[in-house]
Structure 1
Amino acid sequence: MPEFRLVEEDEFQQAIDLADKVFRKEGHVSMGIAFPQVFSVALNQSYGAFVDDKLVSFIGLVPSVLHLEGAEVQAYSIGAVCTDPDYRRKGLANTLLEKIFEHVNKSGASVLFISGDLPIYMKQGCTFYGKMNQYKLHRDDITRDTSYKVRELAPYDWFQLRKLSQNRKIRYEQTIYEIAQLNKGAGFASIFKMKHKVLVAEKNSELNAFLIFGVPYQEQEGGDSRVIEWGGDPIAIRTLLAEVFTYGPDSLLWNVPSYEKGLMQDLDSFQEKVDQTYPGTIKIMNLDLLLNQLVPYFKDKLAISTVDEKQKRLFNNENSTTLSNLDVEELILKGSKNVEWYSDIFPIPFPFPQGLNYV
């Protein structure tokens, strides 16, 4: 009979070995290196299914705090979901997912992010969310502003880089140590056998922007690079994008969330762009809790009150509408083109999930 529980300190190596067996091939770094937050003994959040003390199924669980224009949303993310091939189709992952839901509901988190969109998640109420443009940039697409000095991140830059990171209105909460650790792990980039490079744009001894992007483990000419995370002045960011091509890629993939309006306006002229939802899915675990955590975001925009167990009222000084709870969730995650007075408020601008904090 399988045992479903939190993974204990001396069992995390089993989790890493199982994840490597399922997700990694020759040339990949270990999942334990790429995703230290998933296999963290200190956090002690991830769950496993055990048969005779052997870990046969695993779900990594990572807590985070999202900053959304003054609001703090408590969230969890799951990733590295894997089951030993000999134990598949036995419902183990489904039972683990139920354990995850219990954990999240006890924690005070209001949303759960999932890196995939498999039926196991969609059947549990997970759904697509967010809006973004994916740009494919080429060497001659970007011109640099020569007033900036561009260089790689130096060991004395961490305070300024943290400041640039914290100045973003939409972001994951990150300490200096977390930025450094997640940058070293290069979780999302590692899927493509890439490590991170960090460029900074400097003027008058002050950092104006940073850009984290992926480069292959083995130096090579050609291929795609990927932008992982960025922050700072849009003009300085453009200059950093131009510098990426000195590292040899033919093209650069950049997923820009719709809340990055300044960057999007600057990139409107590029031909190779695709409108998309965010990668991965989300589940609102507790709508009332999420709305309460979002109160600072809604300030001076609108208010939301409860009509009854199934409905909410959205209103400001001039407008009012009543929606079902399900419609409110849809509005939060996907927005609406039908009601103009709150079209600029929704969808809620959750941080892009494939940055440093990717799980």
Structure 2
Amino acid sequence: MTGPRACAPSELPQLARLADAVFRSKGGSMQAEYPLVFGEENLNFCRVIEEDGRIVSHVGVSIRDASLLGCSLRVASIGAVCTDAAYRGRGYASLLMEDARTLALGEGASLMLISGGRGLYHRLGYVNVGSFRSFTARAEILPVPAEGLRVEPCGAAQIPGLIALHQRLPVRFVRPADDWEKLLAAGMIMNQRGDCLGVWEEGRLVAYAAVQRPRDGAPARVREYAGSETALFAALGAVARYYEASGVEVVAMPGTEDLARLLRNAGAEEKELAFTGTLGILDVDGFFACIHPYVRECLGAPTDALFLDPRQTNSISFEYAGERYALANRGQLTALVFGGSTEEARSIPEAPPGVGEILKRIFPMPLLWYGYNYV
């Protein structure tokens, strides 16, 4: 066995065959569908193990900057975790996940998102937490677009406008133009084929929706949007008709309210979703340094009296006004920070009243939603 190590450029076809054998047995190309992982410029972050002269296990890492309520941080997204069937049970995925964690920390990432919920990730301390809202609206309750509003697919020519709209989101991945080019060309919205539909009002691009193509008359699934939420709501009927779908299903982007309110008032069915995978805070000091402006804004002067100690052997603790609140591990800290209704989010211990009241003024924070950045 050799590795964990980076995938060499000459090995990319071999790696693509392994990923397709595991994830695309019925057809498709992981390399084409997920350029943020399998692009040649990212091969140092395609971590592999070689045995018997070939690649037998892989963990893909995509490291991007993100903005969380005005705070800048680096995020490592993990995907395409796979092992050749003949080499499973040897601990290769665990070795690669630890290698990916070390690599991500070296790149300055303080948060890791994993597109999966297998037991391995939970054993390594990652948790399924976070809270998102999903709305499903039948076509008949959606508005008829007003004159002057149209819905059409976006392409490379619209990238500057898409960037301008996306930059307004309060919780988002930072997505440069070259990422937009690759993602639009790939035609994937998270884990399904999809389209980027622009909403034009009086000839001006005012919103977009990244929509998974519906199957067998199911709702069209909006998995990312940005721009005017009022215009987007007015265009949802046209989105449903574009696909001849039974309606639309929309995941509300974190930190936004208007589209959710409009859908709720229209009678859409609402439900809570957890994050579509597992996650963990990698670097406690680094993460809290990143969100310090947000914490300071929430607390004011008490910020300086709230002390976080991540260096204890078996726990992470907050101290405030003589009270101490200990969390057993980084998984519990991640659950505290991002909240939600999952068992892991509910299982964190109750805080003493003083420090608990302070922490409630900060947490939970909204969590990043993958959208186009799914790997």
TM over 0.5: yes
Aligned-pair CA distance for 1:181: 1.4
| Residue matched to 2:130 | 130
- Within 2, Cα distance between the matches of 1:169 and 1:307? 26
Equivalent AA in structure 1 for residue 23 of structure 2: F
- Structure 1 residues 341 and 207 mapped into 2: Cα distance closer, same or farther (>3 Å)? farther
CA contact (8 A) 1:144 1:238 kept: no
Q: Structure 1: 5+ residue runs without aligned partners?
A: none
CA contact (8 A) 1:127 1:281 kept: yes
Give yes or no for the alignment of 1:239 onto 2:255.
Answer: no
Equivalent AA in structure 2 for residue 312 of structure 1: F
CA contact (8 A) 2:138 2:268 kept: no
Equivalent AA in structure 2 for residue 283 of structure 1: G
- Please say which of residues 269-278 and 107-116 is displaced more in the overlay: 269-278
- Please say which of residues 17-26 and 330-339 is displaced more in the overlay: 330-339
CA contact (8 A) 2:339 2:364 kept: yes
- Within 2, Cα distance between the matches of 1:307 and 1:134? 34
Give yes or no for the alignment of 1:346 onto 2:374.
Answer: no
| Residue matched to 2:353 | none
Give yes or no for the alignment of 1:248 onto 2:257.
Answer: no
Partner deviation per Cα, 1:203-255 (whole Å, 9 max, x = no partner): 34432211121226xxx862342212110111111123221111212233222
- Within 1, Cα distance between the matches of 2:258 and 2:277? 25
- Within 1, Cα distance between the matches of 2:78 and 2:236? 31
Aligned-pair CA distance for 1:148: 4.5
Partner deviation per Cα, 1:34-73 (whole Å, 9 max, x = no partner): 0011112212211011013300011111101111122111
- Structure 1 residues 228 and 257 mapped into 2: Cα distance closer, same or farther (>3 Å)? closer
- Structure 1 residues 329 and 222 mapped into 2: Cα distance closer, same or farther (>3 Å)? closer
Where do residues 49-64 of structure 1 align in structure 2 (5 Å cutoff)?
49-64=49-64
- Please say which of residues 71-80 and 259-268 is displaced more in the overlay: 259-268
- Please say which of residues 304-313 and 136-145 is displaced more in the overlay: 304-313
- Within 1, Cα distance between the matches of 2:273 and 2:223? 17
3-state SS of the aligned residue for 2:37?
Answer: coil
Equivalent AA in structure 2 for residue 132 of structure 1: F
Aligned-pair CA distance for 1:92: 1.0
- Structure 1 residues 293 and 265 mapped into 2: Cα distance closer, same or farther (>3 Å)? same
Identity of aligned residues (%): 25
3-state SS of the aligned residue for 2:134?
Answer: strand
Aligned-pair CA distance for 1:307: 5.3
| Residue matched to 1:169 | 170
- Within 2, Cα distance between the matches of 1:3 and 1:201? 48
CA contact (8 A) 1:145 1:235 kept: no
Equivalent AA in structure 2 for residue 200 of structure 1: G
CA contact (8 A) 2:149 2:202 kept: no
Aligned-pair CA distance for 1:6: 1.3
Q: TM-score, with normalisation over the residues of structure 1?
A: 0.88
- Within 2, Cα distance between the matches of 1:97 and 1:331? 23
Give yes or no for the alignment of 1:358 onto 2:374.
Answer: yes
CA contact (8 A) 2:131 2:367 kept: no
Equivalent AA in structure 1 for residue 260 of structure 2: M
| Residue matched to 1:262 | 258
- Within 2, Cα distance between the matches of 1:161 and 1:257? 16
- Within 2, Cα distance between the matches of 1:62 and 1:116? 15
CA contact (8 A) 2:222 2:250 kept: yes
Query: What do you get for the CA RMSD once the two structures are aligned?
Result: 2.6
| Residue matched to 1:157 | 158
Higher helix share: 2
Q: TM-score, with normalisation over the residues of structure 2?
A: 0.84
Aligned-pair CA distance for 1:177: 2.3
